Structure 1
């Protein structure tokens, strides 16, 4: 796993990818910047993550061909919701997660982004966990162990706080 320092161009790159989804998708789709590249100041894999709110998964199916024509393709090991990738010259540049309206408010990727934006101390802890995981041998397990120790959703922290539940979000394969 390669982490790079925060790049101030990430928000603009998000806007470019979001525009391609809005153009090829249905009217009214909401597209948000998620993942570490959406949190100012945190190092991240230089892959832009997007959350796309669709009414229901059939709407994704109806617009899939248009998204593919725009350069997106279906991929990822995630099975809970549709995911599309944008790659160039064999390099992954963006990942779009499509959530139905019923899933939108509790999408873990959105909750984590919002938590980190609102809690700078947790950004530092999360970033340390990411760097520890990057140095580990088994990428997926070391990232999960690092998140379990330093993830803002760690249930061992102050009971009663509205923190997101830890989840396995390794989807950059």
Structure 2
């Protein structure tokens, strides 16, 4: 079951900046690092987990910096199949998730597209927030997993956002 959804906290932006600076310092890589996920959307209810999108040149570059990330407390994680993901936890509680996208996939990464769309469409922020609350309730009753329950709304929003960018629809659920 997911952690409780919290009211948007402006401190999440500072937490992202701190984590991004740590990653840059740990790897000495010239990566573009962006804040994604619900904590990047003003007004969005969210689990207090900072999601990052990191643009890497290729998977070899990721593997080169993997030991430094692991030494800094990051571990490979997630069932995501489309790109590498690393997780940071403190006392068994997930605090950050880093998604690594190769340069050629960067502009079409659904996580970035969703973030950009939600920042520009407050009605969809409200709709998605409600879907997340419903997903928490469904997961608590054992009717669905949190991610599966919110996926239909995410898919619909991302489809509209991709169409607006001239991109085809693709499945958002990649686990």
After TM superposition, give the deviation of residue 60 of structure 1 in Å. Answer: 0.5
* Counterpart for residue 142 of structure 1: 149
Alpha-carbon distance change, 92 to 163 in structure 1, aligned in 2, over 3 angstroms: farther
After TM superposition, give the deviation of residue 27 of structure 1 in Å. Answer: 3.0
Which of 117, 131, 143 matches 1:129? 131
After TM superposition, give the deviation of residue 89 of structure 1 in Å. Answer: 0.4
Which of 148, 152, 158 matches 1:153? 158
* Counterpart for residue 16 of structure 1: 18
CA RMSD for the aligned pairs? Answer: 2.1
After TM superposition, give the deviation of residue 162 of structure 1 in Å. Answer: 3.7
Q: How does 1:21-32 map to 2 (within 5 A)?
A: 21-32=23-34
Q: How many residues align?
A: 165
* Counterpart for residue 168 of structure 1: 173
Alpha-carbon distance change, 154 to 100 in structure 1, aligned in 2, over 3 angstroms: closer
Q: Which runs of 5+ in 1 are unaligned?
A: none
Q: Quick check: 1:152–1:163 contact (8 Å CA) kept in 2?
A: no
Runs of 4 or more consecutive aligned structure 1 residues displaced over 6 Å after TM superposition: none
Q: Which runs of 5+ in 2 are unaligned?
A: none
* Counterpart for residue 119 of structure 1: 121
Alpha-carbon distance change, 169 to 125 in structure 1, aligned in 2, over 3 angstroms: farther
After TM superposition, give the deviation of residue 125 of structure 1 in Å. Answer: 1.2
Alpha-carbon distance change, 162 to 125 in structure 1, aligned in 2, over 3 angstroms: farther
* Counterpart for residue 74 of structure 2: 72
Structure with the largest fraction of helix:
2
Looking at structure 2, the residues matched to 30 and 161 of structure 1 have their Cα atoms a distance apart, in angstroms, of: 24
TM-score by length of 2: 0.85
Give the secondary structure class of the aligned counterpart of 1:73. Answer: strand
Q: Quick check: 2:53–2:98 contact (8 Å CA) kept in 1?
A: yes
Looking at structure 1, the residues matched to 59 and 24 of structure 2 have their Cα atoms a distance apart, in angstroms, of: 16
Give the secondary structure class of the aligned counterpart of 1:105. Answer: helix
CA offset digits 1:28-78 (Å, max 9, x no partner):
201000000000111011110000001001000001001111121111111
Give the secondary structure class of the aligned counterpart of 1:5. Answer: coil
* Counterpart for residue 98 of structure 2: 96
